[in-house]
Amino acid sequence: MSTAARRRDSGPRPRATYQDVLDAPPHRVAEIVDGVLHTNPRPPTLHALAKSSLGHSLSGPFRFGRGGPGGWWIIFEPELHLGEDVLVPDVAGWRRARMPNYPDTPYWTLAPDWVCEVPSASTRKLDLHGKRPIYARAGVGHLWLVDPADRALEAFELRNGKWAPLATAKDDAPVRIRPFEAIAFSLRDLWP
C-alpha cells in the first residue's frame, strides 16, 4: 500500500497544537497554519539582511521618533497567536494607539497593523498562500513582501477583507509607502 493510501486510510491528521510548536527543534521556525505544523530553517543570509535593514530603517523614525513621527512598536519575528494559527512574520508593527503598553508575554494575541514577510525558497509558498489569508482574516491592515532575490518590495493594503496592491519598488528606488509614508528610505539599504 502506498504512503498516500495509508494516510487516507488512517483518517484525518490531528490538528497541530501549541505544544507542537514548543517541541519543534530550536534551530527551526515553527508555525501553525490552518491546523498544520510547518517548520522551516532559519533565514538565509540575504533574507536576514533584508529584514534586519528594513526593521532598522523603520525603527528610528517610527519606533523612536528619530526623523519621523514615532508611535509604533516595530518587532523582529514576533510570535503571533491569531485564533488557532501561530505565525512568525519576519517583521511586524503595531500602532501604539492600538497597543499603548508593550506586553510582557511569550507571544502576541493582538494582530499587528503591518507585517512584512521576506519569502525564501523554503518559505515562499507558505508566506504567499498560507499566511496571507490569515493576516487578512485577522484584520492586519498592511502587508509588505520583500524579495531579496528580485531586489523588490510589494505592498498591499487590506480593503473589504481582501489584499489590494498598494505599491511596488525595485532595486534602489526610494520607498514612501503606507503605513510608513511619513518618511522615505532607499530600497538599496536592504541589499548587499
Domain spans, the chain: 42-190
pLDDT for 12: 75
Residue indicated by cell numbers 503605513: 179
Of 145, 152, 118, residue with least CA distance to 49: 118
pLDDT digits (tens, 9 = 90+) for 71-124: 999 999 999 999 999 999 999 999 999 999 999 999 999 999 999 999 988 888
| Grid cell digits, residue 52 | 534586519
Prediction pTM value: 0.90
pLDDT digits (tens, 9 = 90+) for 110-168: 999 999 999 988 888 999 899 999 999 999 999 999 999 999 999 999 999 999 999 99
Measure Cα distances from 61 to 15, 67, 175 in Å: 41, 5, 14
Of 135, 139, 95, 144, residue with least CA distance to 117: 144
Q: Phi/psi of residue 72, each to 5°?
A: -130, 155
pLDDT band with cut points at 50, 70 and 90 for residue 13: confident
CATH number, domain 42-190, options 3.20.20.150, 3.30.565.10, 3.40.190.10, 3.90.1570.10: 3.90.1570.10
b/e map of 100-137 (b: 16 or more CB within 10 Å)? eeeeeeeebeebbbbbbbbbbebbeebbeebbbebbbe
pLDDT for 33: 96
Q: Phi/psi of residue 152, each to 5°?
A: -140, 155
User: Is the separation of the CB atoms in 18 and 57 below 8 Å?
Assistant: no
- The answer for residues whose C-beta is within 8 angstroms of residue 188's C-beta and 6 or more apart is 171, 172
